[in-house]
Structure 1
């Protein structure tokens, strides 16, 4: 009998504790509680105090593209425009890879204004134009790759980068005259410089295309 009474008492206590635990703030009167007269120590620094003593920590991002095709096009895009898709230079060359309006028309692009703000179209144009240059220069790539001309080791990627700068015809002349027929653009960039700077990238997957079109 005593055991049953004890068990009932325990159940009542548990029930009371559980029940009071679910009483909402709205139904409980906190007016009897006050911190008045207590010594309180809130040792929490302000945002200004934190920024005063804490050194700014800038996140670091390292993206190593190496000698891949992506590395090739990003390096060339940075050289041409610092990677700015929306820029037009004083000579009218547009976008990240600095295309002329005439070159864009060859690739089937007629709306230059839209081109400046269509990043996908610019990337497609770069690949299309590079595939065209690879078709035009396919024999020269085969003939001169691995050889030294004007002190520069010739590679396929170097030839394609130089063709982007000067046009495939001027690159042909440079290679076939052993570097005697030289070219520089309005900014002083030369075929020789591009051959060296963009040497050794993997552009093997680019398929030569006689009539590439950007849709």
Structure 2
């Protein structure tokens, strides 16, 4: 590129010199034999930029990067549960974006599943309340097992809370205290171990342990 710039500069100076002398001698100079063909005019953007990865798959798609934040945690969990659909009801009757069962809803103060399904704000509150309740129930296990390796994975708080959402805190206790031997699976075959691994390492410090947490 430097060589091309030098060539272009030399040619420009040559043309200017010829024009100067032509004015001095009143002669007509034929410039047709002077050409910039073959010179590279792309001085500030190299051709390697064509190989840079695209940020978006298309102009019409947008996927915010939430990383390991709490919002990233709950949205990733919701996507696994229902595809993020507030109106979802699965074949076992679990409801909403986070797939709550009727009995779990009762424990956090919700007694009308039909109204719950139509209320996205209440579904978000239910997720927070249930996570806070599970964190209180599992507080000793979080203290004793976070950082330990079970079945090839490092146990994290977010993994524990995700698994509790899937299977209930009792099943998580059994998994941890048996060092992975008691590995509950739901009706679709999803295990406590899988959720421990899939949702490992998120920041769930936003959730405060609360034995009496309610969504309402």
TM-score by length of 1: 0.72
Q: Of the two, which has the highest radius of gyration?
A: 1
User: 1:103-141 CA distances to partner (integer Å, 9 max, x unpaired)?
Assistant: 101111011111111000000000000000000000000
Unaligned runs of 5+ in 1: 1-56
Corresponding position of 1:63: 64
- Between the aligned partners of 1:143 and 1:202, the Cα distance in structure 2 is 18
Corresponding position of 1:202: 203
Alignment of 1:11-30 (within 5 A): none
Give 1:150 shift: 1.1
Corresponding position of 2:156: 155
Alignment of 1:1-215 (within 5 A): 58-215=59-216
Give 1:81 shift: 0.3
- Between the aligned partners of 1:206 and 1:182, the Cα distance in structure 2 is 25
- Between the aligned partners of 2:156 and 2:176, the Cα distance in structure 1 is 12
Give 1:85 shift: 0.4
> How many residues were matched structurally?
159
Give 1:87 shift: 1.1
- Between the aligned partners of 2:209 and 2:61, the Cα distance in structure 1 is 38
Secondary structure in 1 aligned to 2:211? Answer: coil
Moved over 2 A (4+): 57-60
Secondary structure in 2 aligned to 1:74? Answer: helix
- Between the aligned partners of 1:138 and 1:62, the Cα distance in structure 2 is 34
User: 1:35-81 CA distances to partner (integer Å, 9 max, x unpaired)?
Assistant: xxxxxxxxxxxxxxxxxxxxxx7333230000000000000000000
- Between the aligned partners of 2:214 and 2:137, the Cα distance in structure 1 is 15
Q: CA RMSD in A?
A: 0.9
TM-score by length of 2: 0.72
